[in-house]
């Protein structure tokens, strides 16, 4: 899909009218990038940095993208009129009580887009414009796929139709209603304290995003996550990888832990999340963000390392 010169500054109607919400908020995507950056070899760092600097930046407060902010690009682009990529952020895998079996639907979806992006970056004949787009998509979608409700659907668009209450969101857009999908997008930075849900830290506003790797609260939180979830503790890294395997992981988590263990609420009945559920989601989401970062770093080293095409 060709990069489009963007002309209009804002348009939040897509989210308000029921389009699927992003996976991980901007902070979650930047954490994944910061963790991946720590794993990148010098050759890969130089190549990916040069490419992401060419992403259109109209919705990044006019600031050039760097590797840490590049994974926010696909969500920033939601502000464009007639955003064309909504279906590429998720795969609809039906909820089951056990997490099995799954049937992968026909493309387009996140799995096909990840595969296409990797193929474009591997090919020596891919034009630079397409390489820029493919990398911008890849660094975003690897993160998206690790959010459990981007691979789990209980007939509610991955939890978008499951209304909740009592979570102290500080950054919902005007007129947005709190739902389970939105909670999971931010669960890595929500926890409980003294028996109440708390926002542990807030994702930076667009203008305050890091100007380079290693800056600010993103770098601080990424360091904490890597200490909590070191590579040696994640058995998943030793198993066969790839988009389908990662989707199966997220779907299993979404089925077994993504929804509260209670009767499904009526459409107009917001459910109060328990502190136990919030605390467990905090741990799961933190691990998933970290795992996505390790995997993204490994993948980009393969694509842009010394043996890869310049």
Domain ranges, residue 271: 17-304
Q: Is the pLDDT of residue 5 over 60?
A: no
How buried is 234 (Cβ within 10 angstroms: 0-12 exposed, 13-18 middle, 19+ buried)?
A: middle
Cα 206 from Cα 187, distance rounded (Å) = 20
Convert the pLDDT of each residue in 100-146 to its tens digit: 999 999 999 999 999 999 999 999 999 999 999 999 999 999 999 99
Give the containing element (helix H, strand E) for 139.
helix 128-145
Specify whether the CB–CB gap between 229 and 286 falls below 8 A: yes
Convert the pLDDT of each residue in 37-87 to its tens digit: 999 999 999 999 999 999 999 999 999 999 999 999 999 999 999 999 999
Whether 269 is in a domain gets the answer yes
Whether 129 is in a domain gets the answer yes
How many domains is the chain partitioned into structurally? 1
Convert the pLDDT of each residue in 290-304 to its tens digit: 999 999 999 999 999
Whether 12 is in a domain gets the answer no
Whether 207 is in a domain gets the answer yes
What is the reported pLDDT for 16? 31
Whole-number Cα distances in Å, 200 to 107, 191, 217, 293: 37, 7, 12, 21
Whether 47 is in a domain gets the answer yes
Half-sphere exposure of 30 (CA within 13 A, CB side): 30
Tell me the CATH number at 127. Answer: 1.10.575.10
Q: Is the pLDDT of residue 19 over 90?
A: no
Extended strands (E) in the chain: 164-165, 190-193, 196-199, 271-272
What is the reported pLDDT for 197? 97
* Least confident range of 16-20, 66-70, 146-150, 262-266: 16-20
What is the torsion angle, in degrees rounded to the nearest 10, for the CA atoms of residue 66, residue 70, residue 75 and residue 81?
70
Phi, psi of 272, deg, nearest 5: -85, 120
Percent of the chain with pLDDT over 90: 88
Q: Which of the four pLDDT bands, split at 50, 70 and 90, describes residue 237?
A: very high
Cα 203 from Cα 257, distance rounded (Å) = 24
Whether 41 is in a domain gets the answer yes
Cα 199 from Cα 55, distance rounded (Å) = 31
232 Cβ partners below 8 Å, 6+ apart?
none
Whether 5 is in a domain gets the answer no
What is the torsion angle, in degrees rounded to the nearest 10, for the CA atoms of residue 125, residue 130, residue 136 and residue 141?
-80
What is the reported pLDDT for 22? 67
Report the predicted TM-score, pTM, of the whole model to 2 decimal places. 0.92
DSSP 163: B
Whether 297 is in a domain gets the answer yes
Helix, strand, coil percent content, the chain, rounded in steps of 5: 50, 5, 45
Q: Is the pLDDT of residue 17 over 50?
A: no
Locus of tokens 């993948």: 299
The length of the chain in residues reads 310
């Amino acid at each position: 899909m060709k990069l489009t010169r963007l002309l209009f500054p804002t348009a939040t109607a897509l989210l308000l009218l029921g389009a699927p919400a992003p996976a991980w908020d901007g902070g979650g995507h930047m954490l994944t990038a910061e963790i991946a950056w720590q794993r990148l070899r010098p050759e890969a760092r130089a190549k990916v940095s040069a490419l992401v600097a060419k992403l259109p930046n109209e919705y990044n407060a006019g600031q050039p993208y760097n590797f840490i902010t590049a994974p926010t690009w696909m969500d920033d682009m939601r502000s464009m009129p007639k955003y064309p990529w909504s279906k590429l952020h998720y795969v609809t895998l039906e909820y089951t009580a056990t997490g099995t079996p799954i049937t992968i639907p026909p493309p387009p979806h996140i799995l096909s887009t990840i595969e296409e992006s990797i193929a474009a970056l591997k090919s020596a004949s891919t034009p630079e414009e397409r390489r820029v787009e493919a990398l911008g998509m890849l660094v975003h979608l690897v993160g998206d796929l690790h959010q459990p409700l981007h691979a789990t659907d209980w007939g509610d668009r991955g939890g978008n139709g499951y209304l909740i209450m009592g979570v102290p969101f500080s950054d919902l857009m005007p007129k947005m209603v709190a739902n389970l999908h939105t909670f999971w997008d931010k669960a890595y930075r929500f926890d409980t304290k003294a028996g109440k849900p708390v926002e542990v830290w807030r994702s930076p506003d667009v203008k305050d995003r890091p100007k380079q790797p290693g800056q600010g609260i993103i770098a601080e939180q990424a360091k904490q996550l890597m200490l909590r979830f070191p590579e040696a503790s994640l058995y998943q890294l030793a198993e066969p990888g790839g988009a389908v395997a990662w989707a199966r992981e997220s779907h299993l988590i979404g089925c077994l832990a993504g929804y509260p263990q209670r009767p499904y609420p009526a459409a107009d009945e917001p459910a109060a999340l328990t502190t136990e559920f919030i605390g467990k989601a905090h741990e799961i989401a933190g691990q998933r963000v970290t795992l996505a970062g390790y995997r993204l770093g490994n993948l980009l080293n393969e694509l842009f390392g010394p043996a890869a095409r310049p």
